Amino acid sequence: MGSALAAPSHGVESRLMTGTPALSPLVNRARATDLMQRAGIDALVLTVPMNVYYATGASPVMSRFTQVNMTAALVPADPQRSIAYLGGGFEFYAGVSDSGLDEGVQPYLTGGSLGDPDSRSNPAFAIVGSYQFDAREQHRRALLNQAAPFQQSMATALAKALLDRSLRKGVIGIDTSDAKALIAAANWQGAVRPADDFMLHVRLVKTAGELKLMQSAAAINVEAALATATAARSERTLKNIRQRFFAEAARRGNVAVYGNVDMVMDERTEGELREGQTFMIDFVSHHAFYQGDYGRTVFYGDPDSQMRKATEVGIAAWAEIRSRLRPGLRFSEIRRIGNDTVKKLGAPFTYAFNPHTVGLQHWDQPRMTIEGQPLDLTLEAGMVLSVDCPLLNAGVNGTTHLEDLVLITASGAEPIHRTGDEIIVV
C-alpha cells in the first residue's frame, strides 16, 4: 500500500484525465487539526456520506441508495499523516475513480462495503474480453492498480489504515454508530468519543475549493429561481412553480433540494395563485453537493398596502443586518439587530431573522461547543452565512421572504451571488 506519508496523488491526475477542473481539497485540514488537538482527539473515523466526501473528495453515489452509510474516511490529527478512504471496489471503479480522490488521499478498497459487507465483487474487474480499453477504462484500471492490494473487509481495511499511520492507541472520534461498529471490528484498543457535531465545527470555515463550488451552486440557484419567479403567471399553481424551479435548476447543472412557495413546503400540496397576491419563494439546489439558498418576494399583480409595507420592512432589516455582519458577531445578536430594526421602523410585523451557515447542508453548523455545551455561534471569516427573513404573520394577504448567501470576511460580509431583485413583479 505504500507508507502513509507517501500516498499516491489520485485527485489531480484523475481530474486532468477526465477533463474535470482540478480544485483545492475540500477539507480544511489545518482547522481540523487545530480542533482535534483542542478536543484531545488523535483521529476521526467518519461514515456520514457528506463527511467522507468532504474529507476525501469521493462522491457518495452508493449512499443515495440507503440510509446505511457505505464508505468511511480516517482523518489523523497529525497533518503529516495522510487521510484514508475506505470503500467497496465497485463504487470506486464505477464512481470515485472517474473524478478521483483529493490529492494525497490513500484508498483502501474491499469487495464489500459498510452497507453490503457480504458482497465479494472483484474490485479489479477481471478481464475476459479482447477489446482494447478506451481512455476511461485505462484510467480506471490505473487507479485500481495503485490501490492494490485489496483488503478482505472494511474492518481489515481500517485496521491496515490505522497501522500504516502508527495509530495504535489514543482517542478516536466517530460520527455515527456505523463508525463505532467499524472501529470495534477493527480491534481498536484506544478510547472512542462521539464526534457527530465535531465535523460541523470543522466544516464551518470554507476552503478555496469549497468556496468555488458554493459560488457556482449559488449563481445557478439564483438564476433558476429568477427564471421560475418570472414565469409564475404561466405556471399559475404552487406545484407547477416548484416543479419549474426543479427543472430550471437541473437545466443549468444543479440538483434541486427544496422549494418553498407561498410558505408551502410540502411537495404534495397544490394551490392556485390569485390576482393581487404576494407570495414568497425560498429555493435550494446543490452543485457537487454544495448548496445555494435564495429567497425573494413576488407580487402577483398589485399588492395591498400592508403587504407592500411588510416587504419593504423586511428589506430594510436585512440591509441593516448585512451592514453589521463581521467576525465576532453572535447569532443571537443578528436576531436582535433584525428585531430592533423592525421596532425602530414602527412596524407591527414579526420576521424570523434566523441565521444559519450553508455548505454541504442547508443548516451546516454545530449545535454544541466541542466541549458539549450549548452554543451561540460566533461568526468567523470564511463562513458562508444566510439569514432567513420570512414574515411570520398570518392574515396579511400573502407571504414575503428575503434571503442571500454572504461570505464573512475579515472586516464584514460580501455576497457570493447576484443580489438585488428583492421584489419581483409578474
Sketch out the chain's domains with CATH numbers.
10-202 (3.40.350.10), 208-425 (3.90.230.10)
Sorted by sequence, the CB contacts under 8 Å of residue 131 that are 6+ apart come out as none
Mean pLDDT for the stretch of residues 69-85: 96
- The full length of the chain comes to 426
Q: How confident is the model at residue 124 (pLDDT cuts 50, 70, 90)?
A: low
The span from the CA of 34 to the CA of 370, in Å, is 12
The pLDDT of residue 18 is 40
Tell whether the torsion through CA atoms of 64, 67, 69 and 75 is positive or negative: positive
Residue 384 clears pLDDT 70, i.e. is over it? yes
Cell, residue 181: 461498529
**The three three-digit cell numbers of residue 318, written as one number:** 436585512
The terminus-to-terminus CA distance of the chain in angstroms comes to 61
pLDDT 10s digits, 156-177:
999 999 999 999 999 999 999 9
Distance (Å, whole) CA 122 – CA 111: 6
- Residue 22 scores a pLDDT above 60: no
| CB-based burial label for 343 (10 Å; 0-12, 13-18, 19+) | exposed
What are the beta bridge partners of residue 264?
261
50-54, 147-151, 223-227: range with lowest mean pLDDT: 147-151
Distance (Å, whole) CA 134 – CA 88: 23
pLDDT for 245: 98
Closest CA to 332 of 365, 375, 292, 373: 375
Burial class (CB in 10 A: 0-12, 13-18, 19+), 5: exposed
| Euclidean distance between CA atoms 224 and 284, whole angstroms | 10
Contact 417, 215 (CB under 8 A): yes
pLDDT value at position 413?
A: 98
Question: Which ranges constitute the DSSP H helices of 261-373?
Answer: 305-323, 331-344
Record the cell numbers describing residue 117, joined without a space.
459487507
User: At 5, is the pLDDT very low, low, confident or very high (cuts 50, 70, 90)?
Assistant: very low
pLDDT for 328 equals 98
Write the DSSP assignment of 359-419 as a string of letters.
Answer: SSSSS-S-SB-TTS-B---B--TT-EEEEE--B--SSSSB----B-EEEE-SSSEEESS--
Contact residues for 69 (Cβ-Cβ < 8 A; gap 6+): 47, 48, 49, 52, 63, 114, 115, 176, 178, 179
Would you state the pLDDT for residue 146? 81
Instruction: Mention every residue, 6+ apart, whose C-beta is less than 8 A from residue 326.
Output: 379, 408, 409, 411, 412, 413
The three-point CA angle 280-230-309 to 5° equals 40
Q: What is the DSSP letter of 3?
A: -
Q: Is the pLDDT of residue 211 over 50?
A: yes
Quickly count: other Cβ atoms within 10 Å of residue 373's Cβ. 7
Average pLDDT, the chain: 90
CA 168 to chain centre: 32
Residue found under cell 449545535: 367
Residues paired with 406 in a beta bridge: 385, 415
Model confidence over 224-282: pLDDT tens digits? 999 999 999 999 999 999 999 999 999 999 999 999 999 999 988 889 999 999 999 99
| pLDDT (tens digit per residue) in 308-356 | 999 999 999 999 999 999 999 999 999 999 999 999 999 999 999 999 9
Q: What is the mean pLDDT of residues 274-291?
A: 96
Please report, to the nearest 10 degrees, the dihedral formed by the alpha carbons of residues 294, 242, 426, 295 taken in order: -10
Tens of pLDDT, residues 99-112: 889 999 999 998 76
Q: With bands split at pLDDT 50, 70 and 90, how would you rate the model's confidence at 133? A: confident
